[in-house]
């Protein structure tokens, strides 16, 4: 990851769906693939959800109704944000010049690398238990084919 990062105004624009300058394309890919990509997505979602949530306070009516509206706005906003988190990050990366599927591929490769040793141990245990030599009375007969 290079030293190029967006300034706060650029980041706010990026958080609400804007496109950053081309020199920040690598930072965008890092943003949607780093180990903390879910937290970064949450921060971007919070920037989008907050104005709508705070606007609920301006609606006339009892405080409990306004607080209920705020709660529902947060609940629905985060629900849809997290439901489409992967797609949103893929679109964000594609919008900044990366091939579709690049972000998911990078995250998948990192996940596989992080869990390679544990997966190998689990595979060895599985093979030892279920992939032993097949008994002759169960093996398919070559002559019956």
Q: Is residue 60 part of a domain?
A: yes
pLDDT at 71: 97
Domain range for 58 is 8-130
What average pLDDT does range 109-129 have in this prediction?
88
Q: Is residue 41 part of a domain?
A: yes
Domain count along the chain: 1
CB 95 within 8 A of CB 48: no
Q: Dihedral of CA 19/20/25/27: which sign?
A: negative
Q: Is residue 142 part of a domain?
A: no
Q: Is residue 135 part of a domain?
A: no
What does pTM read for this prediction?
Answer: 0.77
Mean pLDDT of the chain: 90
């Amino acid at each position: 990851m290079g030293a190029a990062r967006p300034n706060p105004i650029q980041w706010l624009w990026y958080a609400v769906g804007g496109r950053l300058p081309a020199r920040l394309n690598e930072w965008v890919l890092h943003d949607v693939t780093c180990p903390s990509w879910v937290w970064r997505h949450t921060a971007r979602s919070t920037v989008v959800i907050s104005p709508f949530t705070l606007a609920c306070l301006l609606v006339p009516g009892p405080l409990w109704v306004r607080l209920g509206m705020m709660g529902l706005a947060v609940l629905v906003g985060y629900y849809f944000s997290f439901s489409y988190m992967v797609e949103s990050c893929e679109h964000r990366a594609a919008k900044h010049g990366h091939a579709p599927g690049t972000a998911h591929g990078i995250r998948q490769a990192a996940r596989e690398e992080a869990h390679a040793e544990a997966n190998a141990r689990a595979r060895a245990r599985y093979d030892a238990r279920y992939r032993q030599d097949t008994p002759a009375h169960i093996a398919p007969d070559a002559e019956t084919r």
